[in-house]
Each structure stands twice: as C-alpha cells, then as structure tokens.
Chain A
Amino acid sequence: MRELTCIVCPNSCTITVDGDQITGNLCNKGRDFAISETTNPTRTITSTVVTTFDSCPALSVRTDKEIAFDKIFALIDLLKKVKVTKRVKIGDIVLANVFNSGVNVIATKNIE
C-alpha cells in the first residue's frame, strides 16, 4: 500500500494505492497520476537557457510533455550546453526530441 499526494491540481488529494485499488482521488486525473506515479513517474520540467541577447540573458523553457523522473538531471545538463542565438517566440522548439523520448523543450517567453 502506498499513499501519494496528487500534484495535478491545487486540491492536493491524498490518494491511496493498494494493488489495483486506487482511492481518495476526487477525479480521474488523480487516478491517472497515481498509476503513472507508481509505475513510471514523470514531471514537466521548467528551466532557463542562456542566449546571446542582452535584453534576455536567460530564456525560460519547459518540456512540452512530461519526461521520466530519472531523466531530470540529465535534461538539466543538456540545457546547460544550449545557447540560443536566434530570436524565438513562445512555443518554439529549443531542443527537439530529448533522449529520443518524443519530448521537446520549448521557449516560454518571446525574445523581443
């Protein structure tokens, strides 16, 4: 038996997972979260990368889908090697298909 706190929304439900039994979630998203959390935990990662623009020394970015929890620090290391030299807009891909996972890292800010 495992107790989890659902982090999908601010309700922060306490979910109990006991074999196939999932209880305590107020909605189905919580059920999905509990299944993924007990089999293959994933997270959305947000960070920054450096740019060559004085107006924007740090460009904020995020993964467009969740990535495996145990890949987080490897992803951060990859991001440290990135230097953005072109103007980008929100949603533009900064790093494509990281670790062959199908997940892209996208800009969350426009470089003006």
Chain B
Amino acid sequence: MQQFNTDILVIGSGPAGLSAANSAISQGATVIIVERERSLGGILKQCIHDGFGLVRYGQKLTGPEYAQRDIDVLIHSSATILLSTFVTSIVKSEHGFIAEFVNRQGAGNIRANKIIFATGCRERTSKQILIQGTNPSGVMTAGTAQHYINLQGLMPTKRCVILGSGDIGLIMARRLTLEGAKVVGVYEIKATPSGLTRNVVQCLNDYGIPLYLSHTVTRVFGADRLTAVEICRVDEHMKVIPDTAEIIECDALILSVGLIPETEMHNQLSLPIDKNTSGAIVDQHFMTLMDNCYSVGNATHVNDLVDYVSQSGEIAGKHASCSCQPRFFVRPKLNGELAYFIPQVIDVSSSDKDIVCYFRSKRDIKRAVITVKDKDKIVYTKRLNNVKPTEMQRILVDISKLDNTSIVSVELEEICEN
C-alpha cells in the first residue's frame, strides 16, 4: 500500500492546480499534486489555439505553451507529482484529510493537513439536453472532438452540425473547417451567442460559417452512425416552432452547450454548493466553508480567461501555506442584475485589504454600476460599460473597514441616461 503524508494536497494539474502548488511551495509548504492523466497541464493540453496569457504574461500563448510555463516551475521544485493517479475518495480525519487513490501500482492513500480541489469543469452532454431519436455514434462534445484532432491527430467528422455557441464550439468550428471538414452551421437556442464576440468574429465570420440564433436540434437520425439531424427554430420562450423543421445530413453533431464545475470530490465532503455557480461556496482565499479545504479554478466557477484561473490557484496556494485562523463570515446579499458573485462569503477576521471579486450579469447591460455596501455605507462602486453574461467581471474591493457587525450587500444596476 502506497502511503504519503503532506502539508498540502492538490488534486488536479490544470492551470489552477499548477499555480496553487507552485505558490504554496514558494511559501515553503510541502506539496503533493495528483493528476489522473499521464501528463500535467489539464485541459490546456488540447487547447492548441492562441489567446491565453494576455493578462498574466502580456503575450498571446497557446494552451500548451501557457501550461508549460507553470509545469517547468513545478518539475524543478520540491513537489511530489503523482501522475496517472486517480483520487477516488476524500474523508475528513481528526487532523486533516485522507485521500484514497488508485494508480498502476495499486491503491494508496495520502494524509494531508490541507486540500486544494483543482478538478476543473466538465462539458454538458446530450443526456442533459432534450434530443429525440436514435442513439448513433457521431454525437460528441466539442471537447471530445478537440481531443481527437489536437491530441490524437484524428478527424472525427467530414460534415457536421455544431449545437451551441459556447467558445469551445466556436473554436472547433474553425479548427474543423481548416482541417477540411464542412461545418454546416452553428445552431444556438438562445437569441444571443454564448461565446465571446471575438470568437464569433475570428472563428465563424472569418471562414463564412453561419451562426443560426434561436435554433436547436430536435431529433437525430442514424442506426450505427449519425446520418442527419432535424433543426427547428424556437420562439422567444425557447419553445420549438414545429413547422420550421429542417433535415440536415451530417455524420457528426458536436455539442457546445456549456460547462459545469466538477464537484464530485467536493460532494464527498458535503461541501455547500452555490446554485448560481454550481461550484463550492468559497471565501476570498477560495477556502470552502470547511476549514483547510480549498476549491480553485473552473471547479469553483467557470472562468472565461485562464489567467484568472491561475490567479485563483495562486491566492489559495499562498493562503494554504499559512496556518488557518478562526474565520468569521459575512455573506453578501446579491441584488439587481447579478447572476453570481464570488466570494460568496467574506472572512472579515482576516487582515486583507483589497480582495479580488468576480461576477457575471444576468443580461446584457450597456451602462451599469456595481456597488458594494455595508448597511448604507458605500464600500465600493464602479461604473461599467457593456456588461454581458458571457464576460466575467473582476473588481478589487477594500474590505479593511468590514467587521463582524457588517451587513454587506452587492448590487448591479443599469444606469439610464438621458
């Protein structure tokens, strides 16, 4: 039986896990990082397009290049790295946590004082959306298609339909087109694209790939392999308009219908989940409501820039390398157009001054104002232009004046100008 002891255990080696491990080690902590795949880097390994690292490095890097910078630091550090190792369970023990894992050598466990979940997110699949018909092969997520082409060098389709306009779907539309496949179109049930505007422009418009808003796939055809899909228009309530059905021949249906935080590990510790983010509730150091247990990166909320994923790992890693003091939470009440706000709880017993907060709006707002208040006193306020649900906002809020009598509220409001 393999047995390990460590101060900090990091689960997952995507950008969040890598930077959490690196920042904890640079503060002098002992760290074990566990990754179920054969190599480090997480999902970035298959994101070969560029655009990563503008905030952190001021450069447009590809996913593998971005990841390699953190990997190079990690492999020259004191970290213990366990690859092809799958964490199967986590329990709380008297002095910390015990993680059970399996790998080629068999089973084992790790005793850790602190734990950082950096397990990333997963894609919604066809089971989570309603499509009728047979169950042929050729229906796959955009991430699966990305894995085939970018890591295995295999083409999964000659002629396909993409359902959903998430960023990965848009990026795959371009990639498939460049590689010689015909992308008939990207079909989006909502009236606005889900991906970033720049991706609609540089992935679809550049290559003349049509984007059909307010459309969805209602049926799939084919016995072994997909042969066609049925597309319908939807009304403003996203209800299918029956007499708009159209059959499109294709050998693949590629789904880009959203990402959800991977919280299987979190659930084993019964960590409270925020229904708005589908990830764990965290304080400003990404510590969950359970002391010494952190959740970072896309396991906590789906970010649109990897730079901020790394930043969350850095904050948590640094904090985890110090001893945890008793925390006192205030829980900001959300008002107005906020879809979510992180941190969901603020630890006011900490000596922090500026803390990083992230939020998204419920809808597109041209001119908005975000205000953080303690009772009636304004703690922070800022005007923002073009706030969109697809683009995460990030602000620095000074919490040094908050204490355990504070009643905090956060409001995002539209400004009407005349």
Interface check A109, CB cutoff 8 A: yes
Q: Is A58 a contact of B62 with CB atoms below 8 Å?
A: no
Asked if residues B150 and A62 are in contact (CB atoms below 8 Å), the reply is no
Do B391 and A44 have beta carbons less than 8 Å apart?
no
Interface residues of A (CB under 8 A from B): 5-7, 9-10, 12, 43-48, 50, 57-58, 60, 62, 69, 72-73, 76, 90, 108-110, 112
Interface of chain B residues 134 through 149 with chain A (CB within 8 A): 149
Q: B179 contacts which chain A residues (CB < 8 A)? A: 47, 76
Contacting pair B198 A10 (CB below 8 A)? yes
Q: Is the CB of A7 within 8 A of B178?
A: no
A46 near B202 with CB under 8 A, answer: no
Please tell me which one of the listed residues B39, B68, B153 contacts residue A50 in the complex, with CB atoms under 8 A apart.
B153
B178 touches A72 (CB 8 A): yes
B153 & A60 in contact (Cβ 8 Å cutoff): no
Q: How far is the CB of A99 from chain B (nearest CB, A)?
A: 17
Minimum C-beta distance from A105 to chain B (A): 12
Specify which chain A residues have a CB less than 8 angstroms from the CB of B79 in the assembled complex.
none
Segment of B47-55, B97-105, B221-229, B261-269 in the binding face: B47-55
The answer on a CB contact under 8 Å between A47 and B50 is no
Query: Would you call A44 and B60 a contact (CB within 8 A)?
Result: yes
A48 touching B206 in the complex, CB below 8 Å, given contacts A12-B201, A108-B64: no
Task: Give the Cβ gap from A78 to chain B, nearest Cβ, in Å.
Answer: 12
B178 touches A9 (CB 8 A): no
Q: Which residue on A lies nearest to B68, using beta carbons?
A: A90
Q: Are B152's CB and A58's CB within 8 A?
A: yes
B49 nearest CB neighbor, chain A only? A46
The answer to whether the Cβ of B305 comes within 8 Å of any Cβ in the partner chain is yes
Chain B residues near A6 (CB, 8 Å)?
198
Closest 9 CB pairs of A and B: A58-B153, A12-B197, A60-B48, A109-B64, A108-B62, A57-B153, A5-B201, A7-B198, A12-B198
Closest residue on chain B to residue A12 by CB atoms: B197
Question: B205's closest neighbor in chain A, by CB?
Answer: A5
Given A10-B304, A12-B201, A72-B178: A48 and B60 interface contact (C-beta under 8 Å): no
Docked CA distance A62–B305 (Å): 20
A72 CA to B54 CA in the complex, in Å? Answer: 24
Interface centre among B45, B197, B201, B202 (most CB of A within 10 A): B197
Residues of A with C-beta under 8 A to B391: 10
Contact for A48 among B50, B65, B153, B198, CB less than 8 A: B153
Question: Please, which residues of chain A bring their CB within 8 A of the CB of B39?
Answer: 112
How many residues on the B side are at the interface (Cβ–Cβ under 8 A)?
28
Q: Quote the shortest CB–CB distance from A58 to chain B (angstroms).
A: 3
Q: Return chain B residues, CB-CB under 8 Å to A62.
A: 48, 50, 62
Q: Known interface pairs A46-B49, A47-B178, A109-B64. Does A10 touch B196 (Cβ–Cβ under 8 Å)? A: yes
Which residues in chain B, 20-68, are within 8 Å of chain A measured between CB atoms? 39, 45, 48-50, 54, 60-62, 64-65, 68
Cα(A84)–Cα(B250), bound, Å: 33
Interface contact A58-B64, CB-CB below 8 Å: no
> Which residues 103-157 of B have a CB within 8 angstroms of A?
149-153
CB distance from B259 to the nearest CB of A (A): 17
Max chain B CB contacts within 10 Å: which of A47, A62, A109, A110?
A: A109
B50 touches A5 (CB 8 A): no
A57-B152 CB under 8 A given contacts A5-B197, A7-B202, A109-B64: yes
User: Within the assembled complex, what's the spacing in Å between the Cα atoms of A47 and B206?
Assistant: 16
Interface CB pairs A-B, < 8 A, 16: A9-B54, A9-B198, A10-B196, A10-B304, A12-B201, A46-B48, A46-B49, A47-B48, A48-B149, A48-B153, A58-B150, A62-B50, A90-B68, A108-B62, A109-B45, A109-B65
Q: Give Cα A66–Cα B391 distance, bound, in whole angstroms.
A: 26
- Report B257 CB to chain A, min CB distance, Å: 22
Residues of A within 8 A of B60 (CB): 44
B150 CB → nearest A CB, Å: 6
Contact of B68 among A7, A9, A45, A110 (CB under 8 A): A110
With a CB–CB cut-off of 8 A, which chain B residues contact A112? 39
Residue of A nearest to B46 (CB): A60
Q: When chains A and B are docked, how far (Å) is the Cα of A50 from the Cα of B154? A: 10
Contact of B65 among A9, A47, A90 (CB under 8 A): A90
Best-surrounded residue of A9, A60, A62, A90 (most CB of chain B within 10 A): A60
Instruction: Judge whether B65 and A10 touch: CB under 8 Å.
Output: no
Report B375 CB to chain A, min CB distance, Å. Answer: 35
Residue numbers in B under 8 Å from A109 (CB-CB): 45, 64-65, 68
Which of chain B's residues 185-222 have a Cβ closer than 8 Å to chain A? Answer: 196-198, 201-202, 206
